[in-house]
């Protein structure tokens, strides 16, 4: 088998992989990114396409170019929550920060081109099949097939950006490391989306639209432009399977604005709906993006987190190459960065995902449509926790009459979500403190399961 040697091997050309490769190459290391798709298909990924803006991306590639070429709608000012029972909807304003919807294919092409421009080697049509490990269990590269030819890619560090349910984590023996192996299919969702072109501009081209479905899923309608809509839905794999394509088509048929619309593209995917991995590092091995659970478990949003994690992991990988020390301890600062930044928010949001899974859609929809919109934004969109002033609490009590038991449960869950978020701020600064930290975190989670009656998720 032919072998090639690099400082860093990045597996996967999505957001996390491209940002990792661009960062590592920009620091002067010899890095190769392995992408299973062809150059023509690379970047074609099933995604909701919505983000909050370019300021959330690490400054390791040309963000102005990315915005100009891939941000097709930069005027998203609100979310619209549709009640499937009553047909009513509520507006949730974004406030001072506009959101955006991407052309995901063009976005993927740009970030890969930027990684290559930074100096990364990109090998398309390359399917990774195994992880190479030495006698001590350290990852020293991967085995792959490139255009039908078997190859070994040897390296000091392997960065796993291979997405949800990564093959690399199935192949590598990570049992002697801190790497989180408490991962199973029930912590993921199955999703499907279509890019639909309508005849006339929609009236809600400044909004992202959500509609709950059975089995704790939701439909979404995200306008790339007034006439091009990303329409999709997903369900959690710990629930009964849904006929995704049929449910989406049924909803499209019931919307007047989609009469005579044309489907331009369709694609499915698996996505994490779980908290970030407790540790995403092992000797010679670092996981990023979806491969480490770096996704908002309530709404599915993961692009900014993936970009950050890719860049942060790559900086630690460069240090490992420079110091010839690809140990867990060398990578540990990456874990700490993630957990005390977006990781704590996503862990708190996962609490609402657990809460939701313990109730049916009628209960949840009835409660949500009575709650103040900003509290929903804070709890489910960005902070993972929320609070109310006294006056708002009094108004809410009157408006939510009939839902008080569920509201009381949600209030207790909210308090625990805040406690959990604070605990993530205390994430240990070395592997030695992980076990104690996990025990304390699991105690908080036990309280959450007790409050909600939910089955343990982890």
pLDDT at 10 over 50: yes
The string of DSSP codes covering 65-104 is HHHHHHEEEEEE-EEEEE-TTT--EEEEE-TT--EEEE-H
Say if residues 288 and 161 touch (Cβ distance below 8 Å): yes
Four-point Cα dihedral 293, 299, 300, 301, nearest 10: -90
| pLDDT at residue number 50 | 84
Q: Cα–chain-centroid distance for residue 324?
A: 31
Per-residue model confidence as pLDDT tens digits over 346-385: 999 999 889 888 777 666 665 555 554 444 444 444 555 5
Least confident of 51-60, 123-132, 216-225: 51-60
Q: Specify whether the CB–CB gap between 14 and 306 falls below 8 A.
A: yes
Q: What is the pLDDT of residue 165?
A: 87
**pLDDT reported for residue 364:** 63
* Paired strand residues for 149: 146
What is the structure's pLDDT at 396?
A: 41
What does the mean pLDDT of the chain come to?
Answer: 88
Which residues have a Cβ under 8 Å from the Cβ of 170 and sit 6 or more positions away? none
Token match 């994430």: residue?
427
For residue 239, pLDDT over 90 is answered with no
Cβ(168)–Cβ(162) under 8 Å?
Answer: yes
Does 102 score more than 80 pLDDT? yes
Contact 48, 321 (CB under 8 A): no
Average pLDDT over residues 331-345: 97
In this prediction, residues 269-282 reach a mean pLDDT of 94
Q: Where in the chain is the domain with CATH 3.30.9.10?
A: 79-99+186-272
CATH topology of domain 79-99+186-272: D-Amino Acid Oxidase; Chain A, domain 2 (3.30.9)
CATH topology of domain 2-73+102-183+277-338: FAD/NAD(P)-binding domain (3.50.50)
| Domain span(s) for CATH 3.50.50.60 in the chain | 2-73+102-183+277-338
Q: Which two tokens stand for residue 384?
A: 């993972």
Read off the pLDDT of residues 139-168 as tens digits, 9 standing for 90 and up: 999 999 998 899 999 999 999 999 998 999
Which of 260, 282, 415 lies closest to 348, judged by CA? 415
Residue 154 or residue 51, greater confidence: 154
In angstroms, the CA 456 to CA 458 distance is 6
* Torsion-angle region of 84 (φ positive above 0: left; ψ -120 to 50: alpha; else: beta): alpha
The tokens for 423 are 């605990």
Per the model's pLDDT, the better-predicted residue between 240 and 346 turns out to be 346
Tokens 């996981």 appear where? 287
Which residues, 6 or more positions from 32, have their beta carbon under 8 angstroms from its beta carbon? 4, 6, 8, 9, 10, 120, 121, 122, 123, 153
84-96: average pLDDT: 79
The Cα–Cα gap between 332 and 327 comes to 9
What is the average per-residue pLDDT within 258-268?
95
pLDDT at residue 301 above 70?
yes
Q: What is the pTM of this model?
A: 0.90
What pLDDT is stored for residue 72 in this prediction? 93
Task: Give the C-alpha separation, 242 to 258, whole Å.
Answer: 22
Least confident among 39-48, 50-59, 74-83: 50-59
Q: Distance between CA 434 and CA 58 in Å, rounded?
A: 27
């Amino acid at each position: 088998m032919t072998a090639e040697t690099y400082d860093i091997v990045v597996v996967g050309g999505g957001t996390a992989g491209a940002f990792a490769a661009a960062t590592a190459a920009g620091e002067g290391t010899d890095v190769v990114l392995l992408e299973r798709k062809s150059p023509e298909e690379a970047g074609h990924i099933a995604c909701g396409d919505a983000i909050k803006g370019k300021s959330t991306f690490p400054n390791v590639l040309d963000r102005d170019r990315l915005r100009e070429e891939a941000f097709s709608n930069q005027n998203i000012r609100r979310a619209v929550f549709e009640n499937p029972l009553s047909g009513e909807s509520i507006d949730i304003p974004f406030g001072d920060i506009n959101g955006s919807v991407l052309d995901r294919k063009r976005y993927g092409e740009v970030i890969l081109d930027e990684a290559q421009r930074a100096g990364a080697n990109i090998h398309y049509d390359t399917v990774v099949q195994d992880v190479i490990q030495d006698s001590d269990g350290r990852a020293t590269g991967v085995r792959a097939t490139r255009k039908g030819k078997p190859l070994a890619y040897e390296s000091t560090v392997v960065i796993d950006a291979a997405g949800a349910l990564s093959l690399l984590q199935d192949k590598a023996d990570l049992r002697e490391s801190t790497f989180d192996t408490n991962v199973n299919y029930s912590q993921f969702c199955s999703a499907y989306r279509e890019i639909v072109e309508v005849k006339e501009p929609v009236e809600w081209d400044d909004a992202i639209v959500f509609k709950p479905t059975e089995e704790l899923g939701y439909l979404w309608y995200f306008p790339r432009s007034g006439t091009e809509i990303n329409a999709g839905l997903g369900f959690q794999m710990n629930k009964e399977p849904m006929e995704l394509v049929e449910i989406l088509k049924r909803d499209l048929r019931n919307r007047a604005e989609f009469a005579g619309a044309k489907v331009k593209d369709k694609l499915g995917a698996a996505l994490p709906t779980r908290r970030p991995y407790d540790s995403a590092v092992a000797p010679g091995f670092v996981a990023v993006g979806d491969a480490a659970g770096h996704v908002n478990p309530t709404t599915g949003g993961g692009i900014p987190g993936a970009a950050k994690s890719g860049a942060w992991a790559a900086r630690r990988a460069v240090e490992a190459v420079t110091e010839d020390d690809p140990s867990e301890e060398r990578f540990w600062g990456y874990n700490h960065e993630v957990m005390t930044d977006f990781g704590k928010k996503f862990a708190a949001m996962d609490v609402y995902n657990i809460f939701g899974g313990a109730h049916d859609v009628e209960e949840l929809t009835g409660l949500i449509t009575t709650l103040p919109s900003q509290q929903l934004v804070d709890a489910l969109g960005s902070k993972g926790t929320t609070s109310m002033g006294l006056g708002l609490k009094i108004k809410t009590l009157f408006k939510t009459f009939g839902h008080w038991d569920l509201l009381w449960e949600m209030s207790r869950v909210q308090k625990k979500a805040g406690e959990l978020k604070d605990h993530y701020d205390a994430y240990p600064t070395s592997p030695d403190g992980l076990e104690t930290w996990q025990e304390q975190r699991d105690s908080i989670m036990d309280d959450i399961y007790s409050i909600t009656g939910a089955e343990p998720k982890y």
